[in-house]
Amino acid sequence: MKPSGLILIMLSVFFSAGAFAQPKNIHLSWTGQHETNTSHTMAITWNSKMPNNKMVRYGLKSDQLNNLATALVNAKSGLKGAYIYKAELSNLRDGTTYYYQCGSDLEGWSAVYSFKTAPKIGKRGKYVVGVWGDTQNNKGNLDFEETSKIVQKMAQHKFNLIAHMGDVVENGSVVKSWDAFLNTTQPLNAQIPFMPVTGNHDVVNANQDTSFQKPFPIYYDLFNLPGDYINYSYDYGNIHFVAINSGYAQGAAKVDKLLYEKGSPEYNWLNDDLTKARKNKRIEWIILYAHYPMYAYGVSLVPQWQKNVTPLIDKYSIDLCLTGHRHVYERHTAIKNDQIFKSADKHIYQKPEGTVYITNGSAGGSLQGIGGTDMPSMVFTPSEKMYTYAVMTIENNQLSYEVFNTEGLMIDHFKIIK
Ligand SMILES: [Fe+2]
């Protein structure tokens, strides 16, 4: 063999080892046990086959990554020999774009990505939020192929954050599904904070299990979210977001273990959280999201779940309630105390007296027929099955919501004007 051939083989071995060690499944989020500081912090989480690949270098320019942060390493993950790294950058400037990469000199660095910190709490601006749900890898989406198409479409928008309505994967106990999801969504999640709620497919479904309705251990390993990871809130500018775990509501209702019963710890937490949010005069919008819908067509509606949660939604005049579970897009009227408020213009909710309810659960999981139109609160649902995602823009006193299919066609839009 000529020396040049040997060098080529050595180089190819070197680069394949480097590729193997490259950080993967990189995703951003906000975290915090007691307080979630979206203006000055960012959590970066990734996996690698190598145990020493644990630094984030970052800075204000892509070629000057002079700051360093060290990640905590979790080696006991079920990701077949992969190590999970969690770093949190702090003391960041608000409303500022940062560049970063993760890895190490020894085992290689990721590409350079960028993210933007949230503005000061209470500051008005134009904020764009990606909304999707039910990316679960079941029939038709076994390798997240439909989800991947949506990722490509969503990547064309400049989101400040992405809210996921749960059922991230088909079976939360299958570790490789989480691996595949995070790999598929890295183009979005490495640059935009990913803030999910848990759906019934993400949590333990056996009602005798002490972890019933809680995520599988891999969820706590792979993510870095606020509070207990499943019921949490955070502020972005003048918006307060609340994410709540609806567990396995259908199964729980049958064995009297439904979450958010009045007086339960999670109910009291939500009541306190919303009390604080409403007292903060700089917070102008409150958006709550959960997996199980409060108002929906057909079997996806669990009446007792609705009865548990809607009194708090009504009490604190939540502006918008986003959900998933049913693999459709549905938009309802504003509703308060079960009373329906119809708008003169179907696309404008002008100072609505109630909360606007959306089901947005069609980002990959097998499509489930179409929503019914013979429900008094139904305003719009597509007349044929389709995968969708939504772009929500909040600017001052106006919230606009646009829903797109995988061809990029807008299938619905509306505004809430306060
Ligand atoms: Fe679901």
For residues 351 and 394, membership in a common domain is answered with yes
* Residue 6 covered by a domain: no
What average pLDDT does the segment 277-282 reach? 97
CA of 136 to the centre of ligand 1 (A): 9
Confidence at residue 77, expressed as pLDDT on a 0 to 100 scale: 63
Same domain, 112 and 160: no
Percent of the chain surpassing pLDDT 70: 94
221 shares a domain with 357: yes
Span from the CA of 330 to the centroid of ligand 1 (angstroms): 15
Let me know whether 145 and 57 are in one domain: no
CATH number of the domain bearing residue 200: 3.60.21.10
Verify that 55 and 203 share a domain, yes or no. no
Distance 324 CA to ligand 1 centre (A): 7
Residue 9 in this model has a pLDDT that exceeds 80:
no
CA distance 40 to 119: 9
DSSP-derived secondary structure letter, 134: -
Give the end of a domain, one of 64, 81, 116. Answer: 116
Residue 235 alpha carbon to ligand 1 centre in Å: 26
CB atoms within 10 A of CB 288: 26
Q: Cα(29) to centroid of ligand 1, in Å?
A: 23
Measured in Å, residue 114 CA sits from the centre of ligand 1 at: 32
Q: Are 329 and 382 in contact (CB under 8 A)?
A: yes
Average pLDDT over residues 328-340: 97
Distance in Å, CA 246 to ligand 1 centroid: 10
Q: Is residue 293 located within the same domain as residue 388?
A: yes
| 147 belongs to a structural domain | yes
Residue 7: inside a domain: no
Averaged pLDDT, 319-339: 97
For residues 91, 93, 96 and 100, what is the CA-based torsion angle, rounded to 10 degrees? Answer: -30
pLDDT tens track for 128-146: 999 999 999 999 999 999 9
Gap from CA of 325 to ligand 1 centroid (Å): 4
- Mean pLDDT is lowest, of 104-108, 272-276, 325-329, 357-361, for 104-108
Residue 291 lies in a domain: yes
Q: Which pLDDT score, from 0 to 100, does residue 13 have?
A: 39
Ligand 1 centre distance from Cα of residue 58 (Å): 38
Distance 17 CA to ligand 1 centre (A): 39
388 shares its domain with 240: yes
Gap from CA of 195 to ligand 1 centroid (Å): 17
Q: What is the CATH number of the domain that holds 89?
A: 2.60.40.380
Domain boundaries, position 101: 22-116
- 68 within a domain of the structure (yes/no): yes
> What's the 361 CA to ligand 1 centre distance in angstroms?
8
134 alpha carbon to ligand 1 midpoint, in Å?
7
Let me know whether 44 and 68 are in one domain: yes
Cα of 123 from ligand 1 centre, angstroms: 35
For residue 410, the CA-to-ligand 1 centroid distance in Å is 24
| Structure confidence at residue 100 (pLDDT) | 98
pLDDT band at 249 (very low <50, low <70, confident <90, very high): very high
Instruction: Judge if 202 and 184 occupy the same domain.
Output: yes
Residue 396 has pLDDT above 70, yes or no: yes
Domain membership flag for residue 5:
no
Each residue's pLDDT tens digit, 250-262 = 999 999 999 999 9
pLDDT given at position 21: 62
How far, in Å, from the CA of 95 to the mean position of ligand 1?
Answer: 35
Tell me the mean pLDDT in the region 148-156. Answer: 97
* Ligand 1 centroid to residue 310 C-alpha, Å: 19
For residue 86, the model assigns a pLDDT of: 96
pLDDT, tens digit, 9 for 90 and up, residues 202-232: 999 999 999 999 999 999 999 999 999 999 9
The structure tokens 């706590």 sit at 220
Residues 6+ apart with CB under 8 A from 374: none
Q: Is residue 140 part of a domain?
A: yes
CA distance 78 to 217: 9
Considering the domain architecture, whether residues 85 and 218 belong to the same structural domain is answered as: no
User: What is the 166 CA–ligand 1 centroid distance (Å)?
Assistant: 7
pLDDT of residue 284: 97
Same domain flag for 201 and 348: yes
Helix/strand/coil percentages in the chain, nearest 5 = 20, 35, 45
Q: Which pLDDT belongs to residue 257? A: 98
Q: Which position has the higher pLDDT, 265 or 72?
A: 265
Which pLDDT score, from 0 to 100, does residue 417 have?
98
Please report, as a single letter, which amino acid is at residue 53: N
Q: How far is the CA of 247 from the centre of ligand 1 (A)?
A: 9
* pLDDT (0 to 100) of residue 324: 97
| Number of domains observed in the structure of the chain | 2
CA 333–ligand 1 middle distance (angstroms): 22
Domain annotation covers residue 14: no
**Distance between the two ends of the chain, CA-based, in angstroms?**
76
> Alpha-carbon distance 264 to 405, whole Å?
39
CB 182 within 8 A of CB 149: no
Mean pLDDT of the chain: 93
Which DSSP letter does residue 283 get? -
What is the Å distance from ligand 1's center to 258 Cα? 15
Tell me the average pLDDT across 330-355.
97
CA of 158 to the centre of ligand 1 (A): 28
- d(CA 288, ligand 1 centre) in Å: 17
Query: pLDDT per residue over 45-90, tens digit each?
Result: 999 988 887 899 999 999 999 999 999 987 666 777 789 999 999 9
Distance (Å) from CA 167 to ligand 1 centroid: 5
Give the pLDDT of residue 382. Answer: 95
Distance 201 CA to ligand 1 centre (A): 6
Residues in Cβ contact with 355 at an 8 Å cutoff, skipping those fewer than 6 apart: 313, 314, 317, 318, 319, 320, 321, 334, 335, 336
Q: How far is the CA of 250 from the centre of ligand 1 (A)?
A: 10
- Residue 48: name the closest of 89, 111, 109, 99 by CA: 109
Distance 183 CA to ligand 1 centre (A): 22
Task: Say how many Å lie between the CA of residue 168 and the centre of ligand 1.
Answer: 9
Whether residue 169 sits in one domain with residue 225: yes
What is the predicted pLDDT for the residue at 76? 62
| Mean pLDDT on 328-348 | 97
Query: Helices (H), strands (E): how many in the chain?
Result: 7, 24
